[in-house]
């Protein structure tokens, strides 16, 4: 179940793209609404569409459906994310002057896909850690909150140029979809270990929260350096910040090391979806 938690935390990175729309709004506005006097207001309506998509709770019905379950929800989220971001990439990269209703729908779709990732991660971890739901949900949701800062490092390292906004949309559509598909087989409901503390949950939760805290402090330090240090404007700094993020994520699987052996074989039983 700790492997499922690690996969769910990484899955939350896919869902947190709703926090980074301000990175590319200004660059997209002249591409989506060339010459429009109310272009800024129209962009705000599109951002609302993505937020609305994230709020609509249809993912929960699919999760609990007879043919649903966590894997199906992740697949649905990946499809919605690819369709939404992919459509926006086509509209912005090739000067496809789609009408506002089509653009609104595309923003709604990728926002809705983000909600599916969040639903799969939260519902599955809650089921696997029934005796410590508060701790596991806090740890999982922390990555949902940090995802915006982590994805910002990718943007600043590779897509900060004014004409790179369409490429960033393509990156979000393809990379988040592929990451979600890779994690889908790992996000599953399991039978609890016997006894419940056999896999040392206190020690593992402490390690997880320490990692999240260190990552949050690092993101704050990077933000302050960008604001007050001239060196932080260089691409080398952006690549270094991205390397720090990657190194932190590589430590994350250590939460699951030895957990299955400690808990015994009952924890490996997969419950019906």
Burial 203-225 (b: 16+ CB within 10 A, else e): ebbebbeebbeebeebbeebeee
What digits encode the pLDDT tens for the residues 37-75?
888 899 999 999 999 999 998 999 999 998 889 999 999
pTM, 2 dp: 0.87
User: What is the pLDDT at residue 245?
Assistant: 87
Can you give the pLDDT at residue 7? 93
pLDDT in tens, 184-195: 999 998 877 666
Dist. CA 159–CA 36, nearest whole Å: 25
pLDDT digits (tens, 9 = 90+) for 3-23: 999 999 999 999 889 999 999
pLDDT at site 97:
80
Intra-chain end-to-end CA distance of the chain, in Å: 15
Q: Is the pLDDT of residue 168 over 80?
A: yes
Q: pLDDT value at position 36? A: 83
Contact yes or no for 160/238 (Cβ under 8 A) = yes
């Amino acid at each position: 179940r700790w492997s499922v938690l690690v996969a769910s935390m990484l899955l939350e990175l896919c869902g947190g793209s709703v926090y980074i729309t301000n990175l590319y709004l200004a660059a997209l506005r002249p591409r989506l609404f060339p010459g429009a006097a109310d272009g800024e207001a129209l962009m705000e309506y599109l951002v609302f569409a993505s937020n609305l998509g994230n709020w609509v709770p249809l993912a929960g019905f699919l999760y609990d459906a007879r043919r649903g379950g966590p894997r199906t929800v992740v697949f649905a989220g990946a499809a919605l994310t690819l369709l939404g971001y992919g459509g926006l990439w086509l509209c912005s990269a090739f000067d496809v002057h789609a009408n506002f209703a089509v653009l609104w729908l595309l923003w709604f779709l990728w926002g809705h896909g983000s909600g599916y990732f969040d639903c799969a991660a939260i519902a599955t971890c809650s089921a696997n850690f029934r005796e410590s739901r508060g701790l596991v949900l806090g740890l999982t949701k922390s990555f949902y909150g940090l995802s915006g800062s982590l994805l910002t490092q990718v943007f600043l390292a590779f897509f900060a140029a004014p004409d790179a906004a369409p490429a960033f949309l393509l990156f979000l559509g393809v990379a988040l979809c592929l990451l979600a598909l890779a994690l889908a087989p790992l996000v599953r409901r399991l039978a609890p270990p016997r006894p419940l503390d056999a896999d040392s949950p206190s020690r593992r939760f402490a390690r997880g929260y320490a990692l999240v805290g260190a990552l949050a402090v690092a993101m704050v330090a990077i933000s302050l350096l960008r604001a007050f240090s001239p060196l932080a404007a260089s691409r080398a700094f952006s690549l270094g910040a991205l390397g720090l993020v990657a190194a932190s994520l590589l430590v994350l699987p250590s939460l699951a090391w030895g957990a299955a052996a400690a808990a015994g074989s009952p924890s490996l039983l997969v419950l019906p979806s």
